[in-house]
C-alpha cells in the first residue's frame, strides 16, 4: 500500500495532482492481460513481444512474466516528446529491434496511446517486415487519437486526459520509477 509519506519521498518533494492507478490495481490488470494474451495465440506458434521504449519497459517486464507460454522479447525506441508534456509531432526511430519479425506473431507493447503519432509512424514500418500478425497492447489509452492505423487489441485502462507519470511514464526522464500512475 502506498502511503502519503512514501509518495512524498518518491517525488522528491514535488507535487502530483492525484494518483490515478495504484500499484495494486496495475498489478491486477497486468495479470489479467497476461492471461488474455496467453489464450490468444496457438501454443506451437512463435510470439515476439516488442516493447516500445522507454515508457513501456516496466509494463513489458511485468506483462511477460504473466504470459504463460514461450515467447521472445525485444525493444524498439522512438522519440516524440522530449521534455514537454505534449507530443512534438515529430517521431524519430532511435533503436530498431534486432529480432526478426517475419512469420511471427508480434505484440507491440506501448505504455500509453495519446496522439497516435508514434504508432502511426511505427506500425507501417513493422508491417513491412512481414509479421504473421501484429497486435497492439497498451497499458493506457486516452481515446483521443483521431485515426490509428492499428487499434489496440488489449488495453489496461482508459486514461484521463491529463499528463500522466509513473510505472515507466516520465516527464523529462523523471518519475518513471513510481510504482503507481499519477497526474502532474
Active site residue 114: yes
Q: Which listed residue (111, 114, 135, 170) is catalytic?
A: 114
Q: Does domain 24-80+89-178 have CATH number 3.40.50.2020?
A: yes
**Structure-block grid coordinates of residue 36:** 488474455
Instruction: Summarize pLDDT for 165-179 with one digit per residue, the tens.
Output: 999 999 989 999 999
Q: What is the residue extent of each domain of the chain?
A: 24-80+89-178
Q: What is the chain's pLDDT, residue by residue, as a tens digit (184 residues)?
A: 565 666 665 666 677 789 999 999 999 999 999 999 999 999 899 999 999 999 999 999 999 999 999 999 999 998 765 555 455 566 777 888 889 999 999 999 999 999 898 899 899 999 999 999 999 999 999 999 889 999 999 999 999 999 999 999 999 899 999 999 999 8
Q: Is-contact 40 168, C-beta < 8 A?
A: no
Q: How many CA atoms lie within 13 A of 164 on its CB side?
A: 27
Question: DSSP code of 24?
Answer: H
The backbone region for 30, taken as left when phi is positive above 0, alpha when psi lies in -120 to 50, beta otherwise, is alpha
* Residue 122: C-alpha distances to residues 18, 24, 125, 156, 161 (Å): 32, 31, 5, 21, 23
Amino acid at each position: 500500500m502506498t502511503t502519503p509519506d512514501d509518495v512524498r519521498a518518491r517525488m522528491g518533494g514535488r507535487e502530483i495532482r492525484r494518483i490515478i492507478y495504484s500499484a495494486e490495481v496495475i498489478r491486477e490488470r497486468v495479470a489479467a492481460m497476461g492471461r488474455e494474451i496467453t489464450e490468444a495465440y496457438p501454443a506451437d506458434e512463435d510470439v515476439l513481444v516488442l516493447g516500445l521504449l522507454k515508457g513501456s519497459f516496466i509494463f513489458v517486464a511485468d506483462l511477460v512474466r504473466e504470459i504463460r507460454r514461450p515467447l521472445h522479447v525485444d525493444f524498439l525506441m522512438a522519440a516524440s516528446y522530449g521534455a514537454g508534456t505534449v507530443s512534438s509531432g515529430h517521431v524519430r526511430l532511435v533503436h530498431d529491434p534486432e529480432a526478426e519479425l517475419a512469420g511471427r506473431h508480434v505484440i507491440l507493447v506501448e505504455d500509453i496511446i495519446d496522439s497516435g503519432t508514434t504508432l502511426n509512424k511505427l506500425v507501417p514500418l513493422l508491417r513491412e517486415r512481414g509479421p504473421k500478425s501484429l497486435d497492439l497492447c497498451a497499458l493506457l489509452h486516452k481515446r483521443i487519437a483521431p485515426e490509428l492505423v492499428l487499434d489496440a487489441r488489449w488495453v489496461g485502462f482508459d486514461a484521463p486526459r491529463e499528463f500522466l507519470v509513473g510505472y515507466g511514464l516520465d516527464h523529462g526522464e523523471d518519475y518513471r520509477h513510481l510504482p503507481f500512475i499519477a497526474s502532474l
